[in-house]
Amino acid sequence: REAADEQSHFDLQMAEASEYLDDKIMAQMDAIKSEISSTFPLVGEKQPTSSLLEQFDDPIFLEKIKNLAVTAPFVRKTRPDGNCFFRAFGFGLLEHLCTHPDEIPSMLERVQSTFEFAMALGYPRVTTEDFFEVFLEQFKFVQSGATIDALLERFQNRDIAEYFVVYLRIVASCFMKGNPDEFVPFMDGTLTIEEYCAMEVEPMYRESDHFHIKAVAGALGVAVRVTYLDRSAGTTATEHVVPEDQKPLVHVLYRPGHYDLLYTA
């Protein structure tokens, strides 16, 4: 009986300790998020790619940045909060449409089809429609003749920017679920496509990988060039276009764990 009481007391202590640690961890995470929010705008101003030199002291990175600045002279930074790829992609696409208005009607058709597909897959209409309407409104805003500065102001509005990302994550998830043969063979087999989307694609602040990029590009018919800034061999950053057989409309710069918008010469 004493042993049982001791074990029960121990379990209670461990539970209390675990709860205390969880609270401390959550508090630390909230503090980090708060610092990031106060330091980094959701989408920043366009600036020279050479400005990235200030962030590195590794000679491999420095050499690659110097060479990259020749072929891609400008970069637009996004907040490093896990939503950076979706935010960079979304702003990059809309910015492209600002200067290519003839492409807007066909893009609007694609955007509308994503909502219809989400409904066919069983997403709840009421909540999904709220996100979709904000998403669609940004394309109509560009169609109305909005300037890039006005678009940037919208993407610096947290409510608009977050709703936009939520829906773009739904778009990616729907494409993966609707085209499992393009993704399942490359998954590790521990999760179904539905489980993967529920855990890694739809939740906000989850970092993006090749699956996310491929899904968004496929759903909206927009090729993306990803430039990888890492410590791999060579003096130039590696580039990869998704999908490979299309001309890229959006260019992103990938650094370990983060994506920014890149502008080629």
Q: Which of 57, 84, 96, 197 is catalytic?
A: 84
Cα separation, 248 vs 250, whole angstroms: 6
Cα separation, 43 vs 187, whole angstroms: 31
Burial of 56 (0-12, 13-18, 19+ CB in 10 A): middle
Cα separation, 87 vs 162, whole angstroms: 9
Peptide bond connecting 243 to the previous residue in cis, omega within 30 degrees of 0: yes
> CA-CA-CA-CA torsion for 120, 121, 124, 128, nearest 10 degrees?
-80
- Return the closest-CA partner of residue 61 out of 229, 228, 257: 229
> CA-CA-CA-CA torsion for 231, 234, 236, 240, nearest 10 degrees?
-80
- Could you confirm whether 258 is annotated as catalytic? yes
Q: Which of 98, 212, 258, 260 is catalytic?
A: 258
- Return the closest-CA partner of residue 225 out of 68, 78, 98: 68
- C-alpha distances in Å from residue 77, one per residue of 109, 121, 220, 223: 29, 34, 23, 20
Cα separation, 36 vs 65, whole angstroms: 24
Q: Which of 22, 81, 181, 188 is catalytic?
A: 81
- Could you confirm whether 197 is annotated as catalytic? no
**Contact yes or no for 174/212 (Cβ under 8 A):** no
- Could you confirm whether 81 is annotated as catalytic? yes
The residues that are catalytic are: 81, 84, 258
